[in-house]
Amino acid sequence: MSVEPLNRLVKLAARAFYDDITTKGDNLPKTGRSDNRGIAVVVLDALTRRQWVREEDLAKDLKLHTKQLRRTLRFFEEEKLITRDHRKETAKGAKIYNAAVAATADGHHTGKEGDEKIKLHTHSYCCLDYAQIYDVVRYRLHRMKKMLKDELDNKNTVQEYICPNCGKRYNALDAPQLVSMEDEYFHCEVCNGELVAESEKLTAQEMGDGDENARRRRRDKLEDMLKKQEAQLKPLTDQLNRVKDLPVPEFGNLQAWEARANAAARAANGDLNGNDPSKSSLGLGFGGTPMPFVGETKVEVAFSGIEEKGENIKSESANAPMKVLPPWMIKQGMNLTKEQRGEAKEEAKMDGSSAPSGSVDEKKSATESVDVKSIQDEYVKAYYAAILQRQREQEAANKEQELPSSSISNGAYNTSPQRQLGMKSKRDDQDEGDDVEWEEAAPAGNAIGNFKVNDLNVQADASGDDEDDDGIDWEEG
C-alpha cells in the first residue's frame, strides 16, 4: 500500500491545475499581497503528508488563517479531491482524534491535547480521497483533450441551442420537436422563443468568425493548444499510468480511521510487550464495537488511547498468542525497533510514509513546526537531524520499557513483504526535501496563461500554459 506514487500524482495535478487558483474569486486583480495563488498547491502538498487531519491543526501547521484554509478546502471538496467530515465534539471526541493522531505519530503528540476542548465545538476534518483523485484527474484530462479535438475537427460535435428567453438548452437531437412551420428557426418548446445556436466556445469570441483567414487562424491555434497540452501534461499522464494498477490506500471515514489508528497503536504496543505477533485483533477484547471496514479488524475506541494503555497491557498480552500479524502491524513494530532506527533511517522513513498509519509523516509535520524558523537551506539538514534524534530518544525509551521486542521485531521486519520497497527510499528523500521548499516557496509566476478548468462538469477552458514546468522542476529536484 505505497502511497508515494499517488502523492506524486496529487502534487503534479496540484501544480498542473490548481497553481493559479485564488480562493477569492478570479476576477479580482491579482496584485501584491492579496495574491494567494499557490496556496492551493501548498495545502494539497501538506495533505499528502497527512491522513485525516483536523482543519484547525492543518491551518496552524501551514500558518494559514483558518478561514482561508477552509475556503481552499471547500474548493477542493467541490473538485472532489478531498473528503471532509464535520462533527460536533466534546472533549472526548477530540481526544479520540488526538489519540489517533498520537498513534500515527508514534506516541508523540502533535498539536494540542484534547483536554482543552471541553465545550461542544464543531470540528472539521479533511483527508485526500486518492481513488477519486485518480478518476477526477483522468476525467479532467479526457475532457480537455476531447474538447479541443472536437472543436479542432469541428465535427462529431452536437450543436447546442439555447433559448434566450428562458435559458432552456437543447441540442441537435431535439431538432424534430423544435422545428416550426412558420419560419426557418427553431423555437423553444416552453416559451416559443427563437433559439440561438451556442457559438463555438473556445475561440469564436476572440477571433470573431466569418472569413477564411479567421478560420485558419483558429485552426492553427487549436492545433497549437492541443500540442502544448499534450507536451505539458505529459508528466501527469505518465504518473497516471504509473499508479494505474496500484492499490489505492483507503483511510475510510473519520471514525473508522481513528478507530483503526488507535487499534494499530495499541497493537504495536502490545507487540512490543508480549513479544508475539498476534496482537492485531486484541482490540476486540476491550469491548469496542468492531467496524465493518475493508476487511481489517477495527475498533471503536471509547477511551483516549495512550493514557489508559497501562491498564490494558495485561489483557493485551493475555489473549495474545494465536493470531497472525498483519503487514501494517509489522511495519509498526519495525518503526519501534532499535537496530533499524540508526542504520536504516531511510527505510524507516519510507516505510512510515507508506504505512497506513503514516507515523513518520505526522512526526515530520511535528518537526516541521519546530524548524520553521530556520533558514531554508539548513532546513533539510536540521530536519534529518531532528528525526534522527527523535528516533534515538524513542529507542532509548522503548528499550527501557520493552526490552524483549527487538529480536522478534527484527525477524518480522526481515520477513516483511514490504521490504523491497526500500528501493524507493532514495526518491522519497528527494521528494521530501522538495516538499520543504514547496511549502515555503512563493508560487512561481507562470508566464503564458494556463489551462484552467474551473468546472469539471462543464468544459476545459484551456488557453495554453506552462505550469507543468513546475512539475518537472520539482521532479528533478
Partner 1 sequence: MFFHIVLERNMQLHPRHFGRDLRDKLVSKLMKDVEGTCSGRHGFIVAITGIESVGKGLIRDGTGFVTFPVKYQCVVFRPFKGEILEAVVSMVNKMGFFAEAGPVQIFVSNHLIPDDMEFQSGDVPNYTTSDGSVKIQKDSEVRLKIIGTRVDATEIFCIGTIKDDFLGVISDPGATS
Residues forming the site for Zn ion (CB under 5 A): 163, 165-166, 168, 188, 190-191, 193
Q: Return the residue of 90, 135, 139, 185 that touches partner 1, per CB under 8 A.
A: 185
> Taking Cα atoms as reference points, which of 155, 157, 156, 153 lies closest to residue 223?
153
126: helix, coil or strand? strand
Return the sign of the alpha-carbon dihedral for residues 443, 136, 51, 89.
positive
Residue closer to partner 1, measured from CB, 183 or 245: 183
For residue 211, what is its C-alpha cell? 472569413
Residue 442 binds partner 1 (CB under 8 A): no
Report in angstroms how near the CB of residue 157 gets to partner 1 at its nearest.
8
Q: H helices of 299-404, where?
A: 309-318, 327-335, 338-343, 345-354, 359-371, 376-401
Q: Return the residue of 197, 302, 423, 441 that touches partner 1, per CB under 8 A.
A: 197
For residue 91, what is its C-alpha cell? 472533549
Report in angstroms how near the CB of residue 225 gets to partner 1 at its nearest.
20
Residue closer to Zn ion, measured from CB, 130 or 186: 186
Residue closer to partner 1, measured from CB, 139 or 185: 185
The CA distance from 214 to 201, in Å, is 15
Report in angstroms how near the CB of residue 457 gets to Zn ion at its nearest.
23
Residue closer to partner 1, measured from CB, 69 or 163: 163
Q: What DSSP designation does 194 have? A: B
Q: Which does 173 bind (CB under 5 to 8 A by kind): partner 1, Zn ion, none?
A: partner 1
Q: Which does 159 bind (CB under 5 to 8 A by kind): Zn ion, partner 1, none?
A: partner 1
Residue closer to Zn ion, measured from CB, 21 or 195: 195
Report in angstroms how near the CB of residue 221 gets to partner 1 at its nearest.
17
Phi–psi pair at 20, nearest 5 degrees? -110, 25
Q: Which does 191 bind (CB under 5 to 8 A by kind): Zn ion, partner 1, none?
A: Zn ion
Burial of 260 (0-12, 13-18, 19+ CB in 10 A): buried
Report in angstroms how near the CB of residue 179 gets to partner 1 at its nearest.
7
Q: Which does 154 bind (CB under 5 to 8 A by kind): partner 1, Zn ion, none?
A: partner 1
Task: Tell me how crowded residue 270 is: count the other CB atoms within 10 A of its CB.
Answer: 27
> Taking Cα atoms as reference points, which of 42, 27, 6 lies closest to residue 137?
6
- How many whole angstroms from its chain centre is CA 1? 15
Report in angstroms how near the CB of residue 168 gets to partner 1 at its nearest.
16
Report in angstroms how near the CB of residue 190 gets to Zn ion at its nearest.
4
Q: Return the residue of 179, 231, 388, 472 that touches partner 1, per CB under 8 A.
A: 179
Q: With both helix axes pointing from N to C terminus, report the angle between 359-371 and 91-104 in degrees, rounded to the nearest 10.
A: 100
Report in angstroms how near the CB of residue 161 gets to partner 1 at its nearest.
8
Report in angstroms how near the CB of residue 164 gets to partner 1 at its nearest.
15
Residue closer to partner 1, measured from CB, 17 or 186: 186
Report in angstroms how near the CB of residue 189 gets to partner 1 at its nearest.
15
Residue closer to partner 1, measured from CB, 175 or 191: 175
268: helix, coil or strand? helix
- The number of residues that bind partner 1 (CB under 8 A) is 18
Letter for the amino acid at 108? H
Sorted by sequence, the CB contacts under 8 Å of residue 361 that are 6+ apart come out as 49, 50, 51, 104, 352, 353
Tell me the helices (H) and strands (E) count for the chain, helix number first: 20, 8
Residue closer to partner 1, measured from CB, 175 or 447: 175
The CA distance from 61 to 301, in Å, is 27
CA of 452: how far to CAs of 36, 153, 316, 457, 459, in Å?
16, 22, 54, 13, 10
Q: Is the CB of residue 460 less than 8 Å from the CB of residue 140?
A: yes
Within 212-251, the residues that bind partner 1 by CB under 8 A are: 215
- How many whole angstroms from its chain centre is CA 467? 20
Piece of the chain touching partner 1 by CB under 8 A; list 74-82, 175-183, 320-328, 421-429? 175-183
Residue closer to partner 1, measured from CB, 180 or 289: 180
The CA distance from 49 to 369, in Å, is 14
Q: Return the residue of 76, 186, 438, 451 that touches partner 1, per CB under 8 A.
A: 186
Q: Return the residue of 116, 184, 400, 476 that touches partner 1, per CB under 8 A.
A: 184
Within 135-174, the residues that bind partner 1 by CB under 8 A are: 154-159, 161, 172-173
- The footprint of partner 1 (CB under 8 A) covers 154-159, 161, 172-173, 175-176, 179, 184-186, 197, 200, 215
